[in-house]
């Protein structure tokens, strides 16, 4: 079911999906109220949902769906600061994926973003969606990590530095999973570097939202930021983030570069850099997400002496990235989502 107040967008998406035999558009609607009438007769396996619409906004509708009949939802949102903030609210409410919708050039969007949309739909269709609790009160050619990080030859709430760091890598379902983990950490939590697959312009709003509801500090990483206890740094969308050591301190390097494991930022890049720069001083957890980004880097970190964990299948929205990491032999321990905060605190 496609729900969007733009008739052109509804037509573009229908055209885009018509060529794929495994995807059937059973209906479209210009707003959630009309969609509800159609869905009562024929409930979809997946919903493509705009955010800002007349009569009822997408987030209100999403919360209704996730509390009464949980269904995979892919959000279509424009890349604006306002759009990023609202879209992150939708992810927190249970949306599985985000597709960046242009404000102009929709016909070009049909050609340029077809595969992205189809991949998002297929990913979301396999996602494990669960009823959402009420929102808490606010407080191309495939490249590997070699493209940015060479392996070595064989053989701001607290000011103190740390020699131990935590790395988290996640994708589909990761916004909700990261919120659940970070909200449980106290201010003396270890330094954390995070790669969450997310479009440009979204990571800053995501970090700001987490910072407002977590005891630890959370912010979008800047080149040269120090990794400090009580602080989580999130890689900016569209940039890679690497770990660098400077004396007894760990810093992050934020840089441009090609897609690695089909992503930018890439979990493989973060984990590989930690294998080179931190070794046994690093703990990495690979979390919910589609594909295999991070699996190779996790194995390299384990071989360098670091500790490695993978989120278990039961608590993942999509058990792709952890499954590949386990298959490759890069995982010391498989843990449930609600066990991750304790593992991180024990690492200090």
| Residue 336 DSSP symbol | -
293 within 8 A of 264, measured Cβ to Cβ: no
Helix (H, G, I), strand (E, B) or coil at 177: helix
For 16, the 3-state DSSP assignment is helix
Q: Looking at 4, 31, 50, 293, which residue is catalytic? A: 293
Q: Is 266 a catalytic residue?
A: no
Active site residue 171: yes
Give the separation between CA 194 and CA 210, rounded to whole angstroms.
12
Whether 142 contacts 261, CB under 8 Å: yes
In this structure, the number of other CB atoms found within 10 A of the CB of residue 32 comes to 23
- Give the ranges where 193-336 is alpha helix by DSSP (H): 202-213, 267-277, 295-303, 321-327
User: Are the CB atoms for 99 and 118 separated by under 8 Å?
Assistant: no
Given the residues 4, 77, 171, 292, select the one marked as catalytic.
171
Distances in Å between the Cα of 208 and the Cα atoms of 84, 139, 184, 273, 306 are 11, 11, 17, 26, 30
Identify the helix (H) or strand (E) that includes residue 167.
strand 165-170
Active site (annotated) includes residue 225:
no
How far does CA 267 lie from the centroid of its chain?
Answer: 11
Helix segments in 106-255, DSSP class H: 106-112, 114-125, 174-182, 202-213
Q: Which of 4, 50, 77, 197 is catalytic?
A: 197
Asked if 274 contacts 260 with a C-beta cutoff of 8 angstroms, the reply is: no
Active site residues: 171, 197, 293
């Amino acid at each position: 079911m496609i729900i969007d107040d733009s008739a052109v967008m509804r037509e573009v998406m229908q055209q885009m999906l018509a060529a794929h035999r495994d995807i059937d558009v059973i209906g479209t609607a210009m707003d959630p109220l009309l969609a509800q009438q159609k869905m009562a007769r024929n409930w979809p396996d997946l919903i493509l949902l705009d955010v800002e619409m007349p009569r009822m906004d997408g987030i209100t509708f999403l919360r209704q769906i996730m509390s009464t009949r949980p269904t995979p939802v892919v959000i279509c949102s424009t890349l604006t600061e306002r759009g990023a903030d609202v879209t992150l609210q939708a992810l927190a409410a249970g949306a599985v994926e985000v597709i960046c919708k242009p404000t102009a050039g929709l016909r070009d969007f049909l050609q340029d973003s077809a595969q992205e949309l189809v991949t998002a739909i297929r990913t979301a269709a396999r996602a494990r969606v669960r009823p959402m609790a009420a929102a808490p009160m606010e407080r191309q050619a495939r490249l590997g990590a070699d493209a940015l990080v060479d392996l070595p030859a064989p053989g701001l709430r607290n000011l103190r530095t740390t020699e131990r760091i935590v790395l988290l890598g996640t994708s589909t379902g990761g916004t909700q999973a990261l919120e659940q983990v970070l909200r449980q950490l106290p201010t003396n939590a270890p330094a954390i570097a995070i790669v969450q697959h997310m479009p440009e312009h979204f990571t800053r709003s995501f970090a700001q939202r987490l910072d407002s509801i977590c005891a630890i500090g959370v912010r979008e990483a800047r080149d040269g930021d120090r990794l400090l206890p009580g602080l989580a740094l999130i890689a900016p969308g569209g940039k890679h983030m690497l770990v660098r050591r400077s004396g007894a301190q760990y810093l992050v390097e934020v840089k441009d570069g090609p897609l690695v494991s089909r992503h930018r930022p890439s979990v493989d890049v973060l984990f590989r850099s930690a294998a080179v720069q931190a070794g046994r001083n690093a703990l990495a957890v690979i979390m919910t997400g589609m594909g295999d980004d991070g699996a190779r880097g996790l194995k390299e970190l384990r071989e360098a002496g670091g500790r490695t964990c993978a989120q278990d299948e039961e608590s993942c929205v999509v058990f792709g990235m952890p499954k590949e990491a386990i298959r490759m032999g890069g995982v010391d321990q498989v843990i449930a989502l609600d066990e991750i905060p304790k593992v991180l605190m024990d690492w200090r």
